[in-house]
Amino acid sequence: MTRRFYVTTPIYYVNGAPHIGHAYTSVAADVMARFHRLAGDEVFFLTGTDEHGQKVEQAAVAAGVAPKAFVDKVAADFRAMADAMDISYDDFIRTTEPRHIAATQALWTRVARNDAIYLDAYEGWYALRDECFYNEDELVDGPNGQKLAPTGAPVEWVKEPSYFFRLSAFQDRLLALYEQHPEFLGPYGTRNEIISFVKSGLRDLSVSRTSFSWGIPVPGDDKHVMYVWFDALANYLSALGFPDEQAPRMAFWPANLHLVGKDIARFHAVYWPAFLMAAGIELPKKVFANGWWTIEGQKMSKSLGNVVDPRALVQEFGLDAVRFFMLREVPFGGDSDLSRKALIARNNIELANDLGNLAQRTLSLVARNCGGIVPERGPATEEDSKLLAQVALLPELLSAQLERCALTDALEEVWKTIRACNAYIDHQAPWALRKTDPERMAHVLRVLLDAMRGIATMLQPFMPGTMGRMLDQLGVAADERNFAALEQPLPGGRALPPPQGLFPRYVEAEAE
């Protein structure tokens, strides 16, 4: 039976340019998608852009262009970044596409039909000049005791007609969801925060606006556009062809994993399941929130001018070194720091020294002493069996780690094995066996080739380009690179191409 796996990134808000945080979530989702493909699952991997809302409208005005022209440009940039990072998305959805608009209106209609949406009025402190509402506690006192927005704009108490979603009615069902399915929401800290938030009491949610028009019209009431989160969250369904239950992709619902940044965990873990409950639609299996990146120890912000475009890093260090660094450095669900020093250290120690050099030393021994031909397997010694058993365990170990979104721990498992290979080659010393026992030397090298094939196969989701080249050098054919193929040893006698370095060491230019 083929299992289906549906994984999503958030759809990124086109308010600003793509940065390392977006790239990180996308790369993590990409690893999940690629891993499941190699495991033989049928995969659908969705990413895209969130293009409605007042902020986008304002940004377009500020840029002096029509909203559509504005979002076309920024969405294209997000897509270009996904391509630059080698994100293997199956579809890229934009919330301004007709298919999304139709699906979102259908979802709204279904929720409304189940009596979970009603018309009332949204009240609050409104600043005409800023065209937005402020919370009571954000206001400051002006000279005449007048209330002012933090921007200094005068505010007035206004009522605006708005549709509301009966979020309050779903409190108990949401708490039951978190309780009965502890795996639904992670990591642990985020889960606690969300539960505590829901327990503190939910108010109904305003889900439409009349104060701007850059959004999806509410079905049957064109004066309103939908609140951006109703619009945005619906993308996970609209890309599947919702509401057409017969659409081929609808079989991927419910989603297996929504990967999100921790700032939007609440929208995915509270509002989204509530919308779906209201619509009578099955819930996603898991929402997992990742942390933030700091840059050289500092928070990333426009005002500090330290916003990192991952493409600049790729330019300098290479795509796979950057992908590897992001996945290796971030502790499970936590925040992480991006520093030049750390990136270079990971690249040089783990990629160049541990893995790249292992491949290079093994392959050049095969090239020189075995005529570049894959030796037959020989009788296995205890050490041989031990190493190969460790490799054989990797698919199972990584599968378990990815199940809990522990990408860092998954890589650690592989690196333990890589270190074991380096220990093995030193202890067996094939360069010495060359003179004393050439047959055993060939067997040792064969063990290493098999071990490296397993390692490279497992690392493909993390570093697709470089591991592809490593498998080329190991003589592994294109259809022999999935997890199931590992059961079948390569036939001996295959000719290998001349070895070439995989990961160059990075040497920082000396500052005088």
Q: What are the residues whose beta carbons fall under 8 Å from the beta carbon of 56, sequence distance 6 or more?
A: 13, 14, 15, 67, 70, 71, 214
Nearer to RNA among residue 89 and residue 133 (C-beta): 133
CB of 33 to RNA, least distance (A): 21
Give the helix/strand (H/E) hosting 293: strand 293-295
Q: Within 10 A of 262 (CB to CB), how many other CB atoms are there?
A: 18
DSSP string, 19-51: -HHHHHHHHHHHHHHHHHHHTT-EEEEEEEEE-
The alpha carbon of 80 is separated from its chain's Cα centroid by a whole number of angstroms, namely 16
Closest alpha carbon to 174 in 272, 254, 242: 272
Q: How far is the CB of 135 from RNA (least distance, A)?
A: 5
Question: What one-letter code names the amino acid at 191?
Answer: R
Token pair, residue 426, equals: 């030193």
Q: Is 65 or 367 the residue whose CB approaches RNA more closely?
A: 367
Nearer to RNA, 114 or 500 (CB): 500
94 beta partners: 49
Distance, CA of 224 to chain centre: 33
Sign, CA torsion 415/419/422/424: negative
Our CB check for RNA shows the closer of 134 and 325 to be: 134
Residue with smaller CB distance to RNA, 30 or 231 = 231
Report the nearest approach of RNA to the CB of residue 151 (Å): 10
- 3-state DSSP call for residue 163? strand
Smallest distance, RNA to C-beta of residue 12, A: 7
Closest distance of CB 192 from RNA, Å: 4
Quickly tell me which residue has 């965990």 as its tokens: 265
In angstroms and rounded to an integer, the radius of gyration of the C-alpha atoms of the chain is 27
| β-strand partners of 124 | 158
Among residues 5 and 12, whose Cβ is nearest to RNA?
12
Closest CA to 241 of 77, 402, 41, 106: 106
Is 95 in contact with 235 (CB distance < 8 Å)?
yes
36 or 443: CB nearest RNA = 443
CB of 471 to RNA, least distance (A): 14
Instruction: Give the shortest CB-2-to-RNA separation in angstroms.
Output: 33
State which H helix or E strand residue 443 sits in. Answer: helix 438-459
Instruction: In angstroms, give the least distance from the CB of 415 to RNA.
Output: 8
Q: Which residues of this chain interact with RNA, rule CB under 7 A? A: 10, 12-13, 15-16, 50, 53-55, 122, 124, 132-135, 138, 167, 188-189, 192-193, 196-197, 200-203, 205-207, 227-229, 232, 261, 263-264, 266-267, 331-332, 334, 336, 345, 349, 352-354, 356-357, 359-361, 364-365, 419, 422-423, 425-427, 429, 431-432, 501-505
Strand order in the sheet with 208-209: 208-209, 221-226, 217-218
Q: Which residues contact 505 (CB under 8 A, 6 or more apart)?
A: 347, 348, 352, 353
**Least Å from the CB of residue 37 to RNA:** 26
When the beta carbons of 112 and 502 are compared against RNA, the nearer one is 502
Comparison of 256 and 362: residue with beta carbon closer to RNA: 362
